[in-house]
Structures are given as C-alpha cells and as structure tokens.
C-alpha cells in the first residue's frame, strides 16, 4: 500500500490558519491595528469601505520594515516578537504567532508599502492569494501602509457567511474601540466609505472614553485605583443609575490587551449587587496590570482569553476595589442613612473618664398651685383643658342626651356571609370567571374541546407587533405630547442608528425635536408607551439594529415593530385582573397570526378533554 500522508502546500495551510485567525473583516482590523501598535506608532489611521468587504487599510507612522522583513512578514510563523518558547511567558507585545499576515494574504488581495526612517526609499509588495505578484522600490513616508482588498475573494462560501454591512461595521467598530481604549497615548482615526467615524487625539484614559462614547459619559464614571503586589487596577466603572440592558460598555484590559472573562465579570456584578435593576448591566473600563509570567495568553487563536495563575485572588481584589470605589464616592448605600454627627465621640474625649449625670429635684414644685381656685362649695376644681388638647378629641360629638340612647337602640348585627352552593348553576360560574392566571405567567381559558394555555408575554408581543406594524404602514399612529421634553443621551454611533429609523419611529407615535451628536429630545411618545419606558425601548431597538435581529431579509419597519413589542409586552410574573386577561385573549385571537409570537415561538397550546382523561388512567 502506498503512502497516503503528505505535507500540505503553503497556500492551503495558510487558508486553514485563516479559518481560525480571520473570521470576519473585524478580525483583519484587529490584527493590522495591533501590528501598528507593536511598531511603536504614535498615529494610526483606519480606512474601511463596505464594512471591510471591499477595503481595509491601516496607515501608521511606526518604525517600518526593511525590504527583507517586508517579504518575510507574509511567511508562516515569521515573527519579530519571540525567539524562544520561554518568551511566550513574558510577552509585552500584541502579536507573536506570525500567522496573521500570512493568513490574511491567503484569502485577500494585499498591498503593503513600508519604509524605515533611515532609508531613503521604501518597499511595495502586492500579494494575491499567497502569491507575490509584484515587489518594487517606492517613495513612501516613514511607517507602514497595508491595504486588504476583496476579503475571501477565493473562498466564496466564507464570503456568503458574512452578515450585512451594518452588522459587520459594528464588529469593526467594536474592535476599534478595544484597541483605542487600551492605548490612549496613541492618536486614532477611522473612516468608513469616505466619512469620518472617529477622530481620537492623544489624551488620558478618561478623555479617551469620553471621546468615544460621548461627552455625557464623563459624569457617569467612577474612578477605580488599587495597587497591590499581585495586581494593579486602574480605570473607571459606571454609576448604577446609568446601567444599560446591554453589555456594550464592558472592557477588561490585561497588560493593555483586551480580554473576555466571565469570571472577572462576575466579580464586577457581585460588587454592584443590590445597586442595579433587574436585567441591567454595569459599565466598566478597567486596566489590570499583572506579571506577564503569571498569565498564559496562548490559549485562543484570537488571543482574547487569558489563563491566570491565581484567579481567586484576582477576583477578591477586583471585587473589593470596585466596591470600595462605589462606597468612597457615595454611590453605594451605607448602613446609617441619617447619621447624626453630634452623636460621634470627639477624639479629645477618648481617654477621659465618664461623668455620672446629676439629677436635680425642685422640692418646692406643686403642680396644683395654679389650678386651685376659691369657691363657696369648698370643692377642688381644675382649669379647663384648652381646645385642641384632650377635649379636642370630642369636638363634634354631642354630650349626654337621648341621641346616644337612640344610636344604641339602632345598632345592627352583621349576618353570616352567604356561601355559594356547591351545585351552583354552571352558567353562573362561567359568567363570573372565564379565565384563570397561573403563576402570573400563563392564562387558562376554557374552550369546547378542553382548554387553552396561553403564554401572556408572547401573546402580548404578537398583539403589539401587529399594532405597531399597522401604525408604521398606515402612518396614522396616535401620539401623546409630553409636558416636559425628555432628554436622552447616547453615543455617536447609537445616535446614527436612531437617525436611520427616525422616520419609522415617528410613524409609531414618537416625536423628535432636536437630535445632536450625543443626545436627542423627545416631545411625544405613542399613546401605549409610558414615559419611563422610552429609554429602554430605544436601547433595545439600537441593540436589535446592531445585531440585525432577526436577519437582513426583513424590512426596517418589521425590525422596529419586533423590537418595540419585545420591550413593551407585559412581563412574566405580572398579575392581571379578570378584565385584562379577557381583553388579552380577545385581542390575541383577533390577530392575523395568533398562534406564534413575532419571533416564531408558540403563543398558546391546547389540551382537549381526552388528553386530560388519559392523565388519570
């Protein structure tokens, strides 16, 4: 039998590696930005077209590369970051595997221009699908410019799996945020389809957060600082009253590298325990500095997961630090809410002896001296109580007389409460109660063949969904004016999303007066929407648009109707009166599609008499 094992060609091996390293355009953005940072750049520019599907270009003013290094950088496992295996445990750079550029070049058209400061001319390399098409000398400024065009051009199946431009751009912006937040000392700029998205000058950490998420973010931040032998923590957490339903503003950086850690996230949630509403998530922007030898970052292809030597200690320190900051800045409640400072013991009296209080008694005091009056009957009388004291309790009541006797004679006795007969007419029972609520979650209704079991939350979603869809289509929704306009603040990216769906929102009953870069003013809301729910609805809507729920095949109106119905539907655990239960059932079966919710989940199930009978066999 002939040999069947053979070495894979380099371009095939690179495409396989690209499957791990390059999942979407945002993966390319991450790798290129990190390479620019490792090159000690002070200014980095990101240019994107069609959400990265057509072009991703990163321009930096870093150290640049020689002609040999430029050619070698596209080879597999070629890196300048490590020399031996021991270097993996003392990394201070972003990349170290040497797979990024090789993987990217295997699935895209890549054009590289680079020049070192001491060189007069630079190098230009053009690669298509791992094949070097051209290499020549060019005039270019110091640093490196790398352009990745037509991503997945030779793997159509992977390209078909990409989401819409809206979703892919959101992932790119997320990666840009992670890199820009980790390095406030570097100036960043981002452009999409020729429009400026971000212009972030060199600044401190707090200012970088404000520049990304809007000016109003400044008042939401609480500083966190802790320096121990194990870990150094610095950064900010958001105040509890500004917590959001989404987890969009949660950032952990370990040695200036963004990571995801459910364990450390639980430490933050534990520190905020009792301060957040149900379903709300705290914001945090925290930098953790640890000894590189105590972590292993080589456990995941994207390097977003880290293994710590002693997670339990880090958990305890992080939780205590955040809790201390919340208490120090009067965010967390204290035990004594109305503490009287006069009751505190001064330091001067700390070592003094205790003095026994002296009780003084006036032996000549006579409480009856002023009230005694002279009279012919030689009897003792007292002063009349002033009105408003004891006699004030009896104002309006008649004194002795026949009235009280008459009232006493008309006292009625309560009769025993009448109970319904066990064999009461069945029609009367049906008139009294036709629906039942089970565990404040399900509504049970009687039908001829048996009974209906309705999920109140999903049923109400279907009702609201069809109502909102009709309002948007017919454009005749009722709006209620607000006495005081509602001021809401969002990040520039969230404002851009609201502008996209503004027209459809107005058709549902929302009225906008003024929209700025980081906020908006609402003067009217739909009749069925309480004012307190407006911010929750818009946050849910922004999240759904960013994640494109359910998918790109649905219209914006459908997406808006689904998002609003999800936010406003009655929740599980909410008690309903008899009239509300009946109204919900009637409205559900008046819908065009009552059997499923907007997300295609069943709204009710039926159980006939035969099924119930079989349960008792």
pLDDT digits (tens, 9 = 90+) for 51-76: 999 999 999 999 999 888 888 888 87
Question: What class is the 10-200 domain?
Answer: alpha beta
Token digits for 184?
A: 């406030």
- Tens-place pLDDT, residues 173-203: 999 999 999 999 999 999 999 888 899 999 9
Equal fold, 213-328 vs 436-606: no
Q: Give the C-alpha separation, 177 to 251, whole Å.
A: 9
Contact between 281 and 245 (Cβ < 8 Å): yes
Residue 238: beta bridge partners?
Answer: 221
User: Distance (Å, rounded) from C-alpha 460 to C-alpha 584?
Assistant: 7
pTM higher than 0.75, yes or no? no
Q: What is the reported pLDDT for 237? A: 93
Q: What is the distance of C-alpha 457 from the center of its chain?
A: 22
Measured between alpha carbons, how far is 262 from 267 in angstroms, rounded to an integer? 9
| CA atoms of 335 and 339, how far apart (whole Å) | 9
Pairing of strands 307-308, 295-296: antiparallel
Instruction: Give the DSSP letter of residue 211.
Output: H
Report the C-alpha gap between 243 and 256 in whole angstroms: 25
Give the tens place of pLDDT for each residue, 123-154: 999 998 888 899 999 999 999 999 999 998 88
Using an 8 Å Cβ cutoff, are 452 and 601 in contact?
A: no
C-alpha of 106 from chain center: 37
Q: What kind of fold does domain 213-328 have according to CATH?
A: Ribosomal Protein S5; domain 2 (3.30.230)
Distance CA 180, CA 41 (A): 13
Alpha helices of 444-501 — where are they, by DSSP H?
456-474, 492-500
DSSP letter, residue 590: T
Report how far residue 186's alpha carbon sits from residue 243's, in angstroms, rounded to the nearest whole number: 29
CB-based contacts of 36, cutoff 8 Å, min separation 6:
44, 58, 60, 62, 144
Cα separation, 404 vs 468, whole angstroms: 65
* Token reading at 584: 């919900």
Determine the Cα–Cα distance for residues 131 and 134; give it in Å rounded to an integer.
9
What pLDDT, on a 0 to 100 scale, did the predictor assign at position 430? 47
| Alpha helix segments (H runs only) across 3-137 | 10-21, 25-38, 67-72, 100-106
* CB 468 within 8 Å of CB 564: yes
Q: Which residue has the tokens 């609805």?
A: 537
261: DSSP letter: -
Contact call for residues 286 and 253 (beta carbons, < 8 A): yes
Closest listed residue to residue 304, CA positions, set 182, 449, 404: 182
Domain spans, the chain: 10-200, 213-328, 436-606
Tokens of 346: 């001064």
The confidence score (pLDDT) of residue 192 equals 92
CATH number attached to the domain at 436-606: 3.30.1370.100
Task: Compute the distance between CA of residue 252 and CA of residue 235 in angstroms, rounded to an integer.
Answer: 10
How far apart CA 434 and CA 585 sit, in angstroms, is 11
Q: Quick one: which of 175, 113, 122 has its CA closest to 146?
A: 113
Quick one: CA torsion of 586, 590, 591, 596, rounded to 10 degrees? 50
- CA–CA distance, 93 with 102 (Å, rounded to integer): 19
Give me the residues of the chain with pLDDT under 50, please: 336, 373-383, 387, 400-406, 408-409, 420-424, 426, 428-430, 550-553
Beta-bridged to residue 47, according to DSSP, are 57, 191
- CA dist 86 and 88 (Å) reads 5
pLDDT above 90 as % of the chain: 22
At residue 382, the pLDDT reads 47
């Amino acid at each position: 039998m002939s040999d069947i094992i053979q070495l894979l060609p380099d371009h095939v091996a690179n495409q396989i590696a690209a499957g791990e390293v390059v999942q979407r355009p945002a993966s390319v953005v991450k790798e290129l930005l990190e390479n620019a940072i490792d090159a000690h750049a002070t200014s980095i520019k990101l240019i994107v077209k069609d959400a990265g599907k057509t072009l991703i270009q990163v321009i930096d003013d870093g150290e640049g590369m020689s002609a040999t290094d430029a050619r070698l950088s596209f080879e597999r496992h070629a890196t300048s970051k490590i020399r031996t295996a021991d270097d993996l445990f003392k990394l201070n750079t972003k990349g170290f595997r040497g797979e990024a550029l090789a993987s990217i070049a295997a699935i895209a058209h890549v054009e590289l221009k680079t020049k070192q400061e001491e060189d007069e001319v630079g190098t230009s390399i053009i690669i298509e699908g791992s094949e070097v098409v051209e290499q020549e000398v060019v005039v270019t400024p110091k640093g490196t410019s790398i352009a990745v065009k037509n991503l997945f051009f030779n793997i159509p199946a992977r390209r078909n799996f990409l989401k819409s431009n809206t979703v892919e751009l959101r992932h790119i912006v997320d990666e840009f945020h992670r890199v820009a937040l980790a390095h406030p000392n570097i100036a960043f700029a981002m452009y999409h389809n020729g429009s400026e998205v971000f212009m972030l000058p060199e600044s401190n950490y707090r200012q970088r957060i404000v520049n990304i998420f809007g000016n109003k973010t400044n008042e939401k931040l609480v500083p966190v600082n802790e320096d121990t032998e194990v870990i150094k923590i610095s950064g900010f957490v958001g105040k509890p009253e500004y917590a959001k339903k989404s987890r969009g503003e949660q950032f952990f950086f370990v040695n200036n590298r963004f990571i995801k850690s459910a364990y450390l996230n639980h430490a933050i949630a534990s520190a905020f325990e009792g301060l957040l509403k149900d379903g709300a998530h705290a914001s945090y922007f925290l930098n953790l500095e640890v000894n590189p030898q105590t972590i292993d970052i080589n456990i995941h292809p994207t390097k977003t997961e880290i293994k710590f030597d002693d997670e339990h200690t880090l958990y305890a320190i992080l939780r205590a630090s955040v809790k201390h900051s919340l208490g120090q800045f009067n965010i967390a409640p204290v035990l004594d809410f109305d503490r009287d400072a006069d009751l505190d013991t001064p330091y001067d009296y700390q070592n003094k002896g205790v003095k026994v209080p002296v009780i003084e008694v006036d032996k000549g005091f006579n409480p009856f001296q002023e009230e005694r009056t002279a009279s012919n009957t030689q009897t003792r009388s007292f002063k009349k109580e002033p009105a408003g004291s004891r006699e004030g309790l009896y104002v309006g009541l008649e004194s002795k007389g026949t009235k009280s006797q008459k009232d006493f004679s008309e006292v009625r006795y309560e009769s025993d409460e009448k109970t319904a007969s066990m064999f009461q007419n069945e029609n009367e029972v049906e008139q009294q109660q036709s629906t039942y609520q089970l565990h404040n979650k399900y509504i049970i209704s009687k039908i001829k063949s048996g009974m209906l079991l309705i999920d109140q939350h999903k049923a109400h979603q279907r009702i609201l969904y069809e109502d909102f869809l009709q309002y948007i289509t017919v454009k005749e929704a009722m709006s209620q004016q607000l006495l005081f306009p509602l001021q809401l603040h969002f990040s520039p990216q969230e404002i851009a999303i609201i502008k996209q769906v503004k027209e459809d929102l107005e058709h549902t009953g929302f009225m906008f007066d003024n929209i700025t870069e980081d906020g908006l003013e609402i003067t009217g809301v739909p009749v069925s929407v309480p004012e307190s729910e407006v911010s929750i609805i818009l946050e849910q809507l922004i999240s759904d648009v960013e994640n494109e729920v359910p998918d790109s095949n649905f219209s914006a109106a459908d997406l808006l109707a689904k998002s609003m119905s999800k936010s406003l539907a009655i929740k599980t655990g909410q008690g309903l009166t008899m009239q509300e239960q009946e109204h919900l059932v009637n409205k559900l079966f008046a819908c065009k599609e009552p059997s499923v919710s907007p997300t295609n989940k069943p709204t009710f199930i039926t159980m006939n008499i035969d099924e119930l009978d079989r349960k008792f066999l």
